[in-house]
Chain A
Amino acid sequence: MARVPVQFTLNGEERAEFIESGTTLLHALRDTMGDTSPKGGCQQGTCGACSVIVDGELRLSCLTLAQTCEGAAIETTAGLAAGGVLHPLQRAIMDGFAAQCGFCTPGMIMAAKALLDHTPNPTREDVIEAISGNVCRCTGYEPIIAAVLAAARSNSQNAG
């Protein structure tokens, strides 16, 4: 089997590993790098559970080859809580009961983070659009939308 080196930063930390050539970012993260926060739902691009941020852009790690991320900055939900303090999105999801089984949650959070990184004060429509590639079988979406809007409000309060 052809093993190849890959090197990128994962949640701010330099990582270099050998992976099998052609491995998806999802499998590289989960199986080799020990970050199981991105979930493998469909491996077809339809559920969004595997969503991560690569160089500031939301991507589906199940359809991204790890080798194409050489030198990139990758963010996953595992890196969000700084020093044990939850990220405002994590806090809002918990406070608003916006996770039930939780399988979609890491992907939802990354999709929402990608939105808030570019659009700190989104409208409800912006939020719906931002999570439109993420499927949730439990919550009916309303609590998630409310939580993302709440996180945006708490962010802007902190900033102000």
Chain B
Amino acid sequence: MSLSLQTFSTVKDASAALRSGGARYLGGGTLVVRAVNEGDISVTGYVRATDPALSSIDHADGRVRIGASVTMATIARRRDLGDVVRAAKAVGGPAIRNMATVGGNLHAPAPYGDFAVALLALDVTVHFTDRDMPMADFIAGNGTPSGHDIVTAVSFAVPPAGSFRFLKVSRVKPKGVSVLSIATLIDTDGAGAVQTARIALGCMAERPMRAAAAERALVGSRLTREGIAAAVAAIGEGTDPITDPIASAWYRAEVLPVHFRRLLLG
């Protein structure tokens, strides 16, 4: 089978080429080439952009901008990103991490998208050539593989040490596909009481989602077994876990509170 690959130096030209139908944007290809190998005939060609800005990481004044073509392996090597690198290291095995891009992870359906879960907790801004949007809007809207808009980068404030946590639960160790993943960004005051909490979950719906009820329950409490009890009880609220060969929705719902508690107390 012959599928054309069109390579453009600018994102603008690549976007124009995508408008003409069945062509898909090519990031690292770990999902889109796999779909073609599996016989997905809806893909009629590939489009990619090679603008070097897509592959750069710029970190200044506490904010970082990561180009959409940056790979998980590149992020995993960045000491200046603190615990965010844990989420990049959690994606696939070494070869997958050398290929898997940020842009692709943003679009990956569950059980994939572990890094996107971290990005949701970090409240990143998703950048396009002509506009920016909060991650929550991105997930609610476009986020589907058929979207024609090319993400150029994500940007966020690098979390203060100790405020960001990430956990991926898998059955095959190391590096199996997610049963679930959890990312939290928690600010505490001098006395240890939670001031703000952002909690993102993977595999608890088709796309990464916030655990709003647990976030509310956490504010004002301490990160002790008693302090987090209400949040642990609320963590499943609003979730609709996926069922796949890795785990059933029932299993995912059962183990979510356990892993959430371990993440907060760990």
Identify the A interface with B (CB < 8 A): 1-2, 20-22, 24, 43-45, 48, 51, 57-60, 62-65, 67-68, 111, 114-115, 128-130, 132-134
A133, B5: Cβ atoms under 8 Å?
no
Identify the B interface with A (CB < 8 A): 1-5, 7, 26, 28-30, 33-34, 36-38, 45-46, 48, 73, 92-96, 98-99, 174-175
A45, B30: Cβ atoms under 8 Å?
yes
B34, A44: Cβ atoms under 8 Å?
yes
Which B-chain residue is minimally distant from A57 (CB atoms)? B98
Set B38, B95, B175: member contacting A59, Cβ < 8 A: B95
| Cα–Cα distance between A23 and B213 once the two chains are bound (Å) | 48
Set B5, B37, B93, B94: member contacting A43, Cβ < 8 A: B37
Complex A-B: 18 CB contacts under 8 Å: A20-B1, A20-B2, A21-B4, A22-B1, A22-B36, A22-B45, A45-B96, A48-B93, A58-B98, A59-B98, A60-B30, A64-B29, A65-B46, A129-B94, A132-B93, A133-B92, A133-B96, A134-B93
| Cα–Cα distance between A141 and B54 once the two chains are bound (Å) | 38
Set A1, A22, A43, A63: member contacting B99, Cβ < 8 A: A63
A22, B4: Cβ atoms under 8 Å?
yes
A128, B174: Cβ atoms under 8 Å?
yes
Set A2, A20, A63, A111: member contacting B33, Cβ < 8 A: A63
Set B2, B26, B73: member contacting A2, Cβ < 8 A: B2
- A44-B34, A64-B33, A68-B48 given; A111·B95 CB < 8 A: yes
Which B-chain residue is minimally distant from A54 (CB atoms)? B98
A60, B95: Cβ atoms under 8 Å?
yes
| Cα–Cα distance between A60 and B71 once the two chains are bound (Å) | 14
- Considering residues B26, B45, B93, which has the most beta carbons from chain A within 10 angstroms of its beta carbon? B93
Contacts of A21 in B (CB 8 A): 2-5
| Cα–Cα distance between A132 and B37 once the two chains are bound (Å) | 22
Set A44, A63, A64, A132: member contacting B174, Cβ < 8 A: A132
B94, A63: Cβ atoms under 8 Å?
no
B94, A132: Cβ atoms under 8 Å?
yes
Contacts of A59 in B (CB 8 A): 95, 98-99
Contacts of A48 in B (CB 8 A): 93, 95
A51, B37: Cβ atoms under 8 Å?
no
CB of B76, distance to nearest CB on chain A (Å): 11
Contacts of B36 in A (CB 8 A): 22
| Cα–Cα distance between A57 and B74 once the two chains are bound (Å) | 11
- A20-B2, A133-B93 given; A63·B34 CB < 8 A: yes
B5, A45: Cβ atoms under 8 Å?
no
- Considering residues A24, A63, A68, A133, which has the most beta carbons from chain B within 10 angstroms of its beta carbon? A63
Which B-chain residue is minimally distant from A20 (CB atoms)? B2
Closest 5 CB pairs of A and B: A133-B93, A22-B3, A43-B37, A132-B175, A132-B93
A57, B29: Cβ atoms under 8 Å?
no
